[in-house]
Amino acid sequence: MSSESALGVRATQTQETRGKILDSALKEFSEKGFDGASVRDISAAAGVNHGLIKYHFKNKDNLWKCAVDFLFQRLNDEMVEPEEDRSRPRAERVRLWIHRYVRYCAEHPEHARIMLQESIRDSGRLRWAAKKHIKPRHQTLLDSLPITLDLERFPAIDMPTLVYMLNAVTQAPFNLAAEMRHIYDKDVQREEFVESYADGIFDLFFRPYLAHRGD
């Protein structure tokens, strides 16, 4: 193996190791909060030596920030609209966008949970995440709503509140998956549930108010 190939393999292994650590960190932080999370438990769950976390991330606070960066980058990647969808009618593009977001919430409930943990504490970490990640994403959505919806027919509610309403309804069953299983014997991770839930959100919150602009 050439030196360049060896370097490439090591770089790939390093990225894979970082990914395992960050996935484990997100699960630990979302379930136990920052203060309750254990770096040793994170390293054990990731199957890596405890010293590797210090090597890659220096300290627990930086690990949390790197994990949240990783979280939002994954959200950005999974929400990219496929090229073939961009020529579809607006209503279908909105429906597919909702399906992508519902699927993301189903597969990554740690996203909402970790933000809830920090919001309860109104922590400096939350303020960091709000400035770096959450506010820019919300602004993108706020900019798109007047194009997507016919606001003259939409119920009298300000757009920032609408963003939180949509987030709440989208995330709720996946954050309360155990509760729904115990009460209704529903598995919210099943493909049929995810698909029907996404369609329900579209039908209730978007279809009646879609803007029709001849496209």
What is the pLDDT confidence band of residue 10, given thresholds at 50, 70 and 90? Answer: low
CATH number, residue 174 = 1.10.357
Does residue 50 share a domain with residue 12?
yes
Does residue 186 share a domain with residue 109?
yes
Does residue 101 share a domain with residue 52?
no
**DSSP bridge pairs for 210:** 149
Tell whether the model's pLDDT for residue 56 goes beyond 50. yes
Q: How many domains, the chain?
A: 2
CB atoms within 10 A of CB 40: 9
Dist CA 213 CA 148 (whole Å):
10
- 118-142 residue pLDDT tens: 999 999 999 999 999 999 999 998 8
**Prediction pTM value:** 0.88
Q: 13 lies in which domain range? A: 1-59
Q: Given this model, what pLDDT does residue 12 score?
A: 59
Q: What is the mean pLDDT of the chain?
A: 90
Does residue 47 share a domain with residue 14?
yes
Within a domain: 35: yes
Q: What is each CA distance from 204 to 8, 87, 134, 135, 212, in whole angstroms?
A: 49, 24, 25, 26, 17
Dist CA 185 CA 127 (whole Å):
38
CATH number, residue 52 = 1.10.10.60
